[in-house]
Structure 1
Amino acid sequence: MNRLFLSVSRGIARVTGSALGPHQSAVIRVGFAGTWLLFLLREFPHRQELYGPDGPWSSNLAQQLTSDNGAFTALLWFDGQAWFETCYVLAVAASVLLLLGWRTRAMSVLFMVGVLSLQNRSIFMGDGGDNVLHLMSVYLVFTRCGQVWSLDARRAARAERARARGERVVDRVGPALWAVSGTALCAVTLAGRLDSDRLVPALMWTAWAALGLWWLAGRLTRSGEPRILLDVIANVLHNGALFVIMAEACLIYATAGWYKIQGSRWQDGTAVYYPLHLASFSPWPSLADLMSSNGTMVMLVTYGTVIVQVAFPFTLFNRRAKNVLLAAMMIEHAVIAVVLGLPFFSLAMIATDAVFLPTSFLTRLGGWAARARARVPARGSRALPSPRAPEEGEPARVGFTA
C-alpha cells in the first residue's frame, strides 16, 4: 500500500512539477506552424478563390453555414477586400512568429485564430491534413511549446544571466502586446462579433486573462507562491494537452487501420493501386506507373500500411517497436507527399507523429544543428586565424581579440 501511495505521489509530482516533453512540444510547434505557413505561402496567388469574399464559396454561403454549425471565423466579422487581406497577412505573421517561438503563448492563440478563421470560412477547400491542423491548433494553445528551440527560451536565458549579475530585467514588449490584444478583444466583443461561437472567444479571453495574471504574479508580489501556483496549473494543462495530442494521433491511426481492414480492396491487397492512377493524385505519372507495375510491391505496401496503422497504438509501451513503426509511418507520409502530391497532409501527419520521437534523438538532433550553425561564419565577418604559441626566444604578446 505504501509503495502504491509513493508511486502515485511521484506521478503527481512529475505531472505538476514540470512540463513534460519540452523537445517534443517544440517540434510539433515548429511542424504545425511551418506546415500552415508553407500552405499559406503556396496558395497566396490563389487566396481569393480559396477564402476571398468573391470566391466560389461566397460570403453568404459561409454566413449560412456558420450560423448553423456555430463555427468560428474572423473573416466574416467585416466585409471587404481590406479585411480579408489583413486577416491573411496576420495568419502568415502568426505562423512565422510561432515557428520562431516568439511570445509563444500569445502567438499560439493568434495562430489558432488564423487557422480556424480561414478553414471555417471555406470548409470544402482542404483535405485530411486540414482536419489534423484544425484540432492541433487548439491543443497548442494549452502547451508550453517554447521551452526549448525558441526565441522565448533564448530571452529567458538572457534574462536569467542578467539577474545573476544583479541587473534589473524589464519586459516592455509583453505588457504592450497584452494591452493591444485586450483592446482588440474588447472591441470585437462589444461589437457583437463573437456571438456566433462560444468556445473560441472563451479560450481567447481566458488566455488573455492568464497572461495578465502571470505578469502581475511576478511583478507585484514579493512572495513566489502565486507564481508557483500558476506554474503548476500551466504544467498540468501542458501535460494534459500533450497527452491529448498523443491520444488523437493513436485514434487517427487506429480508426484508419480498422476501417481499411473492412474494405475489400485492402483485403485483397490492391487498394494502393487505384490512387496511383487517379489524375488528381498523380503529379508524377511515370513514378506512379513504376510503382503500380509491380504487383508484389503494391500488395506489400497495401498490407504494410494496414499493419502499421493498426499495430502502432499497441507498441507505445515497447520503445524499440514503437520507434520502428514510427519511422515507417514517417517514411510512408513522405512517399505520399511525393507520389500522390499531398505535401501539406503529409507534413501535418509527420508533425503529429513527432510527438512520439524519443528525447535522446531530439537532443542529439539539436546538438547537430547547433554545431552546424556554429560552423557557419557570421555574415560580414572574417575568419580570424587561430592563435599560436610563441616560439622559443620570441616574446609573448598580450592583447585583445575582437
Structure 2
Amino acid sequence: MNRFSLAVSRGVARVTEAALGPYQTAVIRIGFAATWLLFLLREFPHRQELYGPSGPWGWNLARQLTRDNHAFTALLWSDGQLWFECFYTLAILASAALLLGWRTRTASVLFMVGVLSLQNRSVFIGDGGDNVLHLMSIYLVFTRCGQVWSLDARRAARHEAARARGEHVPADRVGPVLWAVLGAALGVVTLTGRFDNGRLVPVLLWTAWVVLGLWWAVGRRAAWREPRILLDVVTNVLHNGALAVIMAEACLIYATAGWYKIQGSRWQDGTAVYYPLHLDYFSPWPALADLMSSSGTIMMIAAYVTVMAQVAFPFTLFNRRVKNVLLVLMMTEHAVIAVVLGLPFFSLAMIAADAVFLPTSFLRRLGALAERARGRFERRGGRAVPPPRSPEESGAGRVGFTA
C-alpha cells in the first residue's frame, strides 16, 4: 500500500509540477500553424469562392445551416465584403503569430477562432486534414505550447538574464493593450447579439480572456506567491491533459482508419491503393501514378503495410524503438501521399499530429542544429548570438503575462 501511495504521489507531482512535452507541443504548434497559414496563402486568390459572402455556398445557406447545427463562425456576423477581407487577414496574422510563438496564449485563441470560422463557413470544402486541424486548434488553446522555440521564450530568457545582472526589466505594455482591445471587441460582439451560433466557443473565449487578466494581475504582485503557484499548477494540469488528448486523438485516427480498412474488400485483396492513383482529382502527376501502379505486387504490399501500420500504431507506443520505426514509416507515407495524390495539407496536418510522439532527444538535437544554423547566419551579419537554453533555464514555464 505504501508503494502504491508513493507511486500515486509521484504521478500527481509529475502532472502538476511541470508542463510535460515542451518540445512536442512546440512542434505541433509550429506544424499546425504552418499548415493552416500555407493553406490560407495558397487559397488567397480563391478566397471569395471558398469562403466569401457571394461564393457558391452563399451567406444565407451557411446561416441556415449554422442555425441547425449551432456551429461557430465569425464570418456570419456580417455579409459585408470588408468584414470578410479583414477576418481573412486576421486569420493569416494569427497563424503567423502562433507559428512564431508571439503572444502564444492569445495567438492560440485567435488561431482557433480563425480555423473554426472559416471551416464552419463552408463545410463542404476540405478533407480529412481539415478535421484534424479543426480539433487540434481547440486542443492547442489549453497547452503551454510556447515554452521553447518561440518569441515568447526568447523574451522570457532575455528578461531572466537581465534580472540576473541586476538590470531593470521594463514592464510589458503590449500584452495589457492587446488584452484590453480584445476584451472590448468581445464585449461589443456579445452585447450586439452576434453569438447566436455556437454555444461553447463564446464561453471559452470569455474564460480565456478572464484567465489572462487574472494571470497578469497575480504576476504583478510579488507577495501573491500562493496564487501564482495555484495558477501554475492549474495550467500545468490543463496542458498535460490536453497533451494526452492530442496523443489519444492521433491514436484514435489511425486505429479507426485501420480497422475500417480491414473490413473493405479492396483492402483485403490488396487493390485499394490502385484506384485513387487513377482518379483525375488525385492525379497531379499521372506519369508517376502510372509508374507506381505498374506493379501489382507493389500495390498489394503498399495496401497491406498501410493497414498493418495503422492498426498496430497505438500498440507500439509501449515500445519506444518499434514506435520510432513505425513513426518514420507513417510520416514517410504521408509525404508520399502529399506528392503522389496531391494532398499536401492533409499530409502536413497528419505529420504534425504524428510529431507529438517524436522523442525529446531527437527534438533537442533538431533544435540545436537549427540554433547553430541561425547563429552562423546572424554572425555573418555581425550580431552576437546567445547560446540556446532549456525551458527550465529560460523561465518560459513560469507565471507571467504573455497575452
**TM-score bin, normalised by smaller chain:** over 0.9
Query: In the aligned structure 1, how far is the partner of 2:270 from the partner of 2:49?
Result: 39
What residue is the counterpart of 1:307 in the other structure?
Answer: 308
What residue is the counterpart of 1:146 in the other structure?
Answer: 146
Contact 2:218-2:228 within 8 A present in 1 as well: yes
Larger Rg: 1
What residue is the counterpart of 2:163 in the other structure?
Answer: 163
Tell me, yes or no, if structure 1 residue 20 matches structure 2 residue 20. yes
Deviations 1:258-293 (A, max 9, x none): 000000000000000000000000000000000000
Superposition pairs of residues 3-402 of structure 1, within 5 angstroms: 3-169=3-169, 170-377=171-378, 381=382
- Offset, 1:168: 3.4
- Offset, 1:194: 1.1
Query: In the aligned structure 2, how far is the partner of 1:226 from the partner of 1:382?
Result: 40
Query: In the aligned structure 1, how far is the partner of 2:68 from the partner of 2:16?
Result: 40
Query: In the aligned structure 1, how far is the partner of 2:224 from the partner of 2:274?
Result: 66
The residue matched to 1:195 in structure 2 has which SS? coil
Query: In the aligned structure 1, how far is the partner of 2:299 from the partner of 2:197?
Result: 48
Query: In the aligned structure 2, how far is the partner of 1:210 from the partner of 1:376?
Result: 39
Between 1:168-177 and 1:238-247, the stretch displaced more is 168-177
Q: Which amino acid aligns with 1:245?
A: I
Runs of 4+ in 1 over 3 A off after TM superposition: 377-383
- Offset, 1:88: 0.2
- Offset, 1:197: 1.6
Query: In the aligned structure 2, how far is the partner of 1:164 from the partner of 1:176?
Result: 27
What residue is the counterpart of 2:401 in the other structure?
Answer: none
- Offset, 1:378: 5.1
The residue matched to 1:102 in structure 2 has which SS? coil
Query: In the aligned structure 1, how far is the partner of 2:224 from the partner of 2:112?
Result: 34
- Offset, 1:167: 3.1
- Offset, 1:166: 2.6
Contact 2:73-2:197 within 8 A present in 1 as well: no
Query: In the aligned structure 2, how far is the partner of 1:14 from the partner of 1:299?
Result: 45
- Offset, 1:91: 0.1
Query: In the aligned structure 2, how far is the partner of 1:58 from the partner of 1:287?
Result: 38
Which fold has the larger relative contact order, with Cα–Cα distance below 8 Å and residues 6 or more apart in sequence? 2
- Offset, 1:11: 0.5
Query: In the aligned structure 2, how far is the partner of 1:353 from the partner of 1:151?
Result: 24
Deviations 1:213-234 (A, max 9, x none): 0010011351311111000000
- Offset, 1:372: 1.4
- Offset, 1:79: 1.8
Q: Which amino acid aligns with 2:91?
A: A
Identity, % of aligned positions = 78
Q: Which amino acid aligns with 1:187?
A: V
TM-score by length of 2: 0.93
Aligned length: 383
Query: In the aligned structure 1, how far is the partner of 2:59 from the partner of 2:30?
Result: 32
- Offset, 1:198: 1.6
Query: In the aligned structure 2, how far is the partner of 1:181 from the partner of 1:80?
Result: 21
Let me know the Cα RMSD of the aligned residues: 1.2
The residue matched to 2:88 in structure 1 has which SS? helix
Query: In the aligned structure 2, how far is the partner of 1:31 from the partner of 1:368?
Result: 18
Query: In the aligned structure 2, how far is the partner of 1:172 from the partner of 1:346?
Result: 39
Deviations 1:175-206 (A, max 9, x none): 11110110000000001011322211111111
Query: In the aligned structure 1, how far is the partner of 2:178 from the partner of 2:233?
Result: 24
Q: Which amino acid aligns with 2:364?
A: T
Between 1:212-221 and 1:255-264, the stretch displaced more is 212-221
Query: In the aligned structure 2, how far is the partner of 1:320 from the partner of 1:161?
Result: 39
Which structure 2 residue ranges, 5 or more long, are not aligned?
385-403
Q: Which amino acid aligns with 1:343?
A: P
Query: In the aligned structure 1, how far is the partner of 2:378 from the partner of 2:53?
Result: 47
Between 1:373-382 and 1:193-202, the stretch displaced more is 373-382
Deviations 1:74-128 (A, max 9, x none): 0010121100000000000000000000010000000000000000000011111
Query: In the aligned structure 2, how far is the partner of 1:229 from the partner of 1:377?
Result: 40
Q: Which amino acid aligns with 2:255?
A: A
